[in-house]
């Protein structure tokens, strides 16, 4: 599972030894996150976000379990029970704001984590399964977040449930049946709220299970790194603990400061004011928009405005929205370049940044009402989104001339720190040539 | 094979969506509501603190009490604040006796000893009662309109606090040419559909008599009642910001120490 130079777990006490022979739990932690996991020594701050995503999930689970103690999943009182949490439960406002803001932060962290993977080619062999498990986690998160948002039973909850389940009705023959099954009826009602509550409580634990697989799959080849070059010797790695536990702790601190700034000083800035209006099936909000983390996909959904090849526009939109995420599962086979890191792929790097801009602007379009110029802009950007992964990347990865790779991670580190006399604290001593 | 399939699917989506992009569409009809609609005015609020940043700042208790008075004497004729309990008024600086007196002005539903429905005087534990028993009753009494509960109003609209103030002070008799306004409605460009069923609630200076010498102007009434409604929507605002200060201070110290240990742990690696 690991490199031959990985530190072996040595129980120090008699009790530790006794336990190790029966259930080697301490050995497991030692090998997974401790000194027994050799990690490339050149990981930058972007490699912090996997741990942060794990922390974000744990925050969601803990706050969510407490909220569930006070929440009532019944359409007549759900909204009131949320306000009861905000006003009458001790510290309830803090728990709820942490949960609501926490969802946004979870997505923010995961998006950075995914883009990190895209930039450094972390989906490439031998990490394809690791990448696909990550996408499964992403899909589970989206389902969980959507259903959690419905639980509040505000205006946007209700109409969001109506719109999102309505998407399935676009499929011929089975569509209406699927929608009825999801809602437990013909429109969002008590049956919807109850099943969403049940699933919203279940899916985070399923997610947790897939995360265990994700981390397991990570430990087989070990972490990728900014050079994309494989680890070759002990000189390329440092033990995860204390090196990356120390580094991740700093990242975690910065993350929590930002998180606290939102929770305590602008808790509602990421949400829709309409969701502070109790759900009313008789009054449709002027603009039905999802939370920001769904905006790019919402823009893709709405970008298809004309019937094409006899298929209605609505179905195209739904297919495109699902395809926009599912195509990422194929990415390891679409991008065939043997070079992982975009640091050594000038053209791909440029295209990566173009894609980042496209994704962000697509998000802006998704948050706007469906009118010009936003519709036309999202159509052009949606075209680029698909072209990027399905057409441009496969061709570029074949044709592009890559820059020479460093011989090893250590060589790359030496080239960086040796020539520039260290990162400030390092004495500018002459380096032994390796 | 995968790449050929991807190419085909990619071309299908790209051609399809670009076809939609160049397809002619109906020109958007000019939307007068959008042209006339105004964004809320930017006001400074005590609870937003210095620079109106929202970082520091506490509610102005005297202002909340005046706002409560405006609510009681004006708004409460049609609008409830059903999520607020009388005991919550302690936040405004009222003592237990005063809260009891205020609560006793309201009747709430009860069951008498024979099991018959009756009413009793409200206590601190009760919430402010609804003005109308249900929506139908409200619409019947209000010419078809349904006055919303105001408890959460400043959080239920974009830029809510400024919105409520702007709406209260935004009525105008100058209806622009070409704008259709039924006689039963009023012109207010801060309202989402411009024509609003609520008559100007703060119509004249002197409408509410303040006991603390604050100016008895409609503008002052609007500010005070808006501050009060900001409190009803977010009663834990002060507690929240105070806690936030302590949390962030703790986190900064924790992260600083974490950074120092990170530097120490990595010192030998960076040089290598």
User: Could you give the CA distance from residue A134 to residue B154 in angstroms, rounded to a whole number?
Assistant: 40
User: Could you give the CA distance from residue A319 to residue A305 in angstroms, rounded to a whole number?
Assistant: 13
With CA atoms as reference, the chain A residue closest to B247 would be A260
Phi, psi (deg, nearest 5) at residue B151: -50, -45
Chain A residue numbers with beta carbons less than 8 Å from the beta carbon of B156 are 273-274, 276-277
ipTM value for the complex: 0.94
User: Which run of H or of E encompasses B246?
Assistant: helix B237-271
User: Could you give the CA distance from residue B179 to residue B194 in angstroms, rounded to a whole number?
Assistant: 10
Q: Give B101 to chain A, closest Cα distance, Å.
A: 22
Q: Give B213 to chain A, closest Cα distance, Å.
A: 32
- Decide if pLDDT at A414 tops 90: no
Is B182 a domain residue? Answer: yes
Contacting B residues, span 18-47, partner chain A, CB-CB under 8 Å:
18-21, 23, 25, 28
Among the partner-chain residues B16, B148, B247, the one whose CB lies closest to the CB of A316 is B16
| pLDDT (tens digit per residue) in A80-109 | 999 999 999 999 999 999 999 999 999 999
Q: Verify that B252 and B194 share a domain, yes or no.
A: no
3-class SS of residue B111: strand
Q: Verify that B74 and B179 share a domain, yes or no.
A: yes
Q: Residues 6 or more apart from A194 whose CB is under 8 A from it?
A: A73, A74, A184
Whether the CA torsion B194, B199, B204, B209 is positive or negative: it is negative
Q: What is the dihedral of CA A78, A84, A90, A92, to 10 degrees?
A: 50
Is B248 a domain residue? Answer: yes
Chain B residue numbers with beta carbons less than 8 Å from the beta carbon of A303 are 17, 20
pLDDT of A421 reads 43
User: Could you give the CA distance from residue A256 to residue B255 in angstroms, rounded to a whole number?
Assistant: 9
Q: Residues 6 or more apart from A330 whose CB is under 8 A from it?
A: B2, B6
Average pLDDT, chain B: 93
Range of the domain at B168: 60-78+150-235
| pLDDT (tens digit per residue) in A140-151 | 999 999 999 999
pLDDT of A418 reads 66
Q: Verify that B225 and B196 share a domain, yes or no.
A: yes
A314 is catalytic: no
Which one is predicted more confidently, A415 or A75?
A: A75
**And the tokens for A90?**
């001790």
Chain A residue numbers with beta carbons less than 8 Å from the beta carbon of B83 are 80, 83, 87
Cα distances (angstroms) measured from residue A193 to each of A3, A70, A141, A166, A189: 49, 16, 18, 16, 6
Q: Quick check: A299 and A378 in contact, CB under 8 A?
A: yes
- Check if B240 contacts A (Cβ < 8 Å): yes
Q: Verify that B228 and B155 share a domain, yes or no.
A: yes
Split into its structural domains, chain B has a count of 2
Q: Residue holding tokens 């498990």?
A: A133
Is B252 a domain residue? Answer: yes
Is B73 a domain residue? Answer: yes
Interface test with B, best of A268, A271, A306, A424 (most B CBs within 10 A): A306
End-to-end CA distance of chain A: 29
Q: Verify that B154 and B71 share a domain, yes or no.
A: yes
Catalytic position from the list A7, A70, A84, A219:
A219
With CA atoms as reference, the chain B residue closest to A427 would be B271
Q: Give B199 to chain A, closest Cα distance, Å.
A: 22
With CA atoms as reference, the chain A residue closest to B232 would be A87
User: Could you give the CA distance from residue A98 to residue A103 in angstroms, rounded to a whole number?
Assistant: 8
Query: Domain containing B215 — which CATH number?
Result: 1.10.760.10
Q: Verify that B158 and B74 share a domain, yes or no.
A: yes
A223 is catalytic: yes
Is B108 a domain residue? Answer: no
**Cβ atoms < 10 Å from Cβ of A180:** 15
Closest residue by Cα to residue A101 from A242, A270, A336: A270
Q: Residue holding tokens 């809260």?
A: B99
Phi, psi (deg, nearest 5) at residue A428: -75, 55
Q: Verify that B242 and B266 share a domain, yes or no.
A: yes
Q: Give B148 to chain A, closest Cα distance, Å.
A: 10
Chain B residue numbers with beta carbons less than 8 Å from the beta carbon of A286 are 192
Q: How many residue pairs bridge chain A and chain B with CB atoms within 8 Å of each other? A: 170
Q: Residues 6 or more apart from B246 whose CB is under 8 A from it?
A: none
Is B165 a domain residue? Answer: yes
**And the tokens for B186?**
């009023």
Average pLDDT over residues A358-382: 93
The secondary structure of B89-109 as a DSSP string is GGGGT--HHHHHHHHHTSEEE
| pLDDT (tens digit per residue) in A153-196 | 999 999 999 999 999 999 999 999 999 999 999 999 999 999 99
3-class SS of residue A27: helix
CATH superfamily of A33-274: Cytochrome Bc1 Complex; Chain C (1.20.810.10)
- Check if B87 contacts A (Cβ < 8 Å): no
**Domains in chain A: boundaries:** 33-274, 289-399
Q: Work out the pLDDT band at A416, boundaries 50, 70, 90.
A: confident
**And the tokens for B151?**
């408890």
User: Which run of H or of E encompasses A20?
Assistant: helix A14-22
- Convert B150-165 to b/e letters by CB count within 10 Å (16 or more is b): bbbbbbbbeebbbbbb
Catalytic position from the list A247, A314, A337, A397:
A247
Average pLDDT over residues B236-260: 97
Q: Verify that B165 and B195 share a domain, yes or no.
A: yes
pLDDT of A150 reads 97
Phi, psi (deg, nearest 5) at residue A409: -60, -45
A219 is catalytic: yes
- Decide if pLDDT at A420 tops 70: no
Catalytic position from the list A31, A236, A272, A291:
A291
Q: Verify that B268 and B195 share a domain, yes or no.
A: no
Among the partner-chain residues B160, B235, B244, the one whose CB lies closest to the CB of A264 is B244
User: Could you give the CA distance from residue A64 to residue A204 in angstroms, rounded to a whole number?
Assistant: 10
- Decide if pLDDT at A423 tops 70: no
Q: Verify that B231 and B154 share a domain, yes or no.
A: yes
Catalytic position from the list A81, A223, A324, A397:
A223
Q: Is the pTM of this model over 0.90?
A: yes
DSSP 8-state assignment for residue B121:
E
Average pLDDT, chain A: 93
User: Could you give the CA distance from residue A49 to residue B173 in angstroms, rounded to a whole number?
Assistant: 56
Average pLDDT over residues B205-224: 94
Q: Work out the pLDDT band at B26, boundaries 50, 70, 90.
A: confident
pLDDT of B270 reads 62
Chain A residue numbers with beta carbons less than 8 Å from the beta carbon of B135 are none
- Check if B158 contacts A (Cβ < 8 Å): yes
User: Could you give the CA distance from residue A393 to residue A374 in angstroms, rounded to a whole number?
Assistant: 26
Longest C-alpha distance within chain A, in Å? 76
Q: Quick check: B118 and B112 in contact, CB under 8 A?
A: yes
Q: Residue holding tokens 């009054």?
A: A283
**Cβ atoms < 10 Å from Cβ of B238:** 15
User: Could you give the CA distance from residue A223 to residue B94 in angstroms, rounded to a whole number?
Assistant: 61
Is B98 a domain residue? Answer: no
pLDDT of B27 reads 75
């Amino acid at each position: 599972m690991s490199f031959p130079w990985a530190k072996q777990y040595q129980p120090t006490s008699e009790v530790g030894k006794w336990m190790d022979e029966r259930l080697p739990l301490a050995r497991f932690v030692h090998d997974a996150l401790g000194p027994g996991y050799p990690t490339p020594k050149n990981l930058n701050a972007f490699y912090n976000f996997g741990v942060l995503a794990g922390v974000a999930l744990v925050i969601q689970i803990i706050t969510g379990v407490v909220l569930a103690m006070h929440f009532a999943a019944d359409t007549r009182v759900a909204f009131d029970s949320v306000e009861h949490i905000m006003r009458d439960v001790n510290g309830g406002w803090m728990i709820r704001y942490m949960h609501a803001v926490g969802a946004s932060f979870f997505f923010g962290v995961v998006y950075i984590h995914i883009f990190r993977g895209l930039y450094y080619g972390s989906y490439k062999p031998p990490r394809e399964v690791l990448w696909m498990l990550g996408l499964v986690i992403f899909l589970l998160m989206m389902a969980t977040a959507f259903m959690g948002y419905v639980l509040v039973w505000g205006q946007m909850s209700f109409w969001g449930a109506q719109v999102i389940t309505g998407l399935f009705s676009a499929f011929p023959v089975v569509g209406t049946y699927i929608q009825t099954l999801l809602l437990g009826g013909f429109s969002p009602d008590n049956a919807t709220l109850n099943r969403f509550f049940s699933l919203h409580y279940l899916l985070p634990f399923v997610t947790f299970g897939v995360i265990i697989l994700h981390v397991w799959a990570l430990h087989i080849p070990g972490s990728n790194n900014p050079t994309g070059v494989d680890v070759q010797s002990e000189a390329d790695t440092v033990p995860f603990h204390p090196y990356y536990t120390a580094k991740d702790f700093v990242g975690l601190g910065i993350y929590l400061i930002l998180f606290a700034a939102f929770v305590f000083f602008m808790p509602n800035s990421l949400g829709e004011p309409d969701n502070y209006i109790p759900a009313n099936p008789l009054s449709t909000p002027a603009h039905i928009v999802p939370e920001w983390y769904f905006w790019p996909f919402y823009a893709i959904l709405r970008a298809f405005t004309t019937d094409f090849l006899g298929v209605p526009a609505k179905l195209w939109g739904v297919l495109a929205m699902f395809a926009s995420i599912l195509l990422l599962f194929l990415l390891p086979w679409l991008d065939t370049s043997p070079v992982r890191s975009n640091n050594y792929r000038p053209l791909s790097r440029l295209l990566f940044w173009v894609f980042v801009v496209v994704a962000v602007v697509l998000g802006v379009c998704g948050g706007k009402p469906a009118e010009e110029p936003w519709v036309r802009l999202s159509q052009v950007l949606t075209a680029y989104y698909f072209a990027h992964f399905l057409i441009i990347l496969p061709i570029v990865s074949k044709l592009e001339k890559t820059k020479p790779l460093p011989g090893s991670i250590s060589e790359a580190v030496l080239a960086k720190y040796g020539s520039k006399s260290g990162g400030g604290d390092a004495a500018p001593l002459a380096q032994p040539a390796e | 094979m995968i790449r050929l399939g991807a190419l085909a699917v990619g071309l299908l989506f790209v051609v399809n969506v670009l076809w939609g992009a160049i397809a002619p569409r109906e020109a958007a009809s000019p939307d007068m509501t959008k042209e006339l609609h105004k964004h809320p005015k930017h006001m400074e609020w005590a609870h937003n603190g210095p620079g109106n940043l929202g970082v520091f700042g506490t509610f102005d208790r005297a202002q909340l009490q005046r706002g409560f008075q405006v609510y009681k004497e004006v708004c409460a004729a049609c609008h409830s604040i059903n999520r607020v309990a009388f005991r919550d008024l302690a936040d405004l600086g009222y003592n237990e006796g005063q809260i009891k007196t205020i609560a006793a002005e309201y009747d709430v539903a009860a069951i008498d000893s024979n099991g018959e429905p009756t009413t009793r005087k409200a206590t601190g534990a009760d919430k402010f009662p609804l003005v109308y028993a249900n929506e139908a009753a409200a619409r019947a009494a209000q010419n078809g309109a349904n006055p919303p509960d105001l408890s959460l109003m400043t959080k239920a609209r974009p830029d809510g606090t400024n919105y409520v103030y702007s709406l209260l002070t935004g009525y105008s008799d100058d209806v622009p040419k070409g704008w259709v306004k039924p006689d039963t409605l009023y012109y207010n460009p801060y309202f989402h559909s411009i024509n609003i069923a609520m008559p100007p609630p703060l119509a004249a200076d002197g409408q509410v008599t303040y006991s603390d010498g604050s100016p008895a102007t409609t503008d002052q009434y609007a500010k005070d009642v808006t501050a009060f409604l900001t409190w009803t929507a977010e009663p834990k605002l002060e507690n929240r910001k105070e806690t936030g200060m302590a949390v962030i201070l703790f986190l900064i110290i924790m992260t600083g120490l974490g950074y120092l240990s990170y530097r120490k742990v990595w010192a030998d690696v960076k040089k290598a």
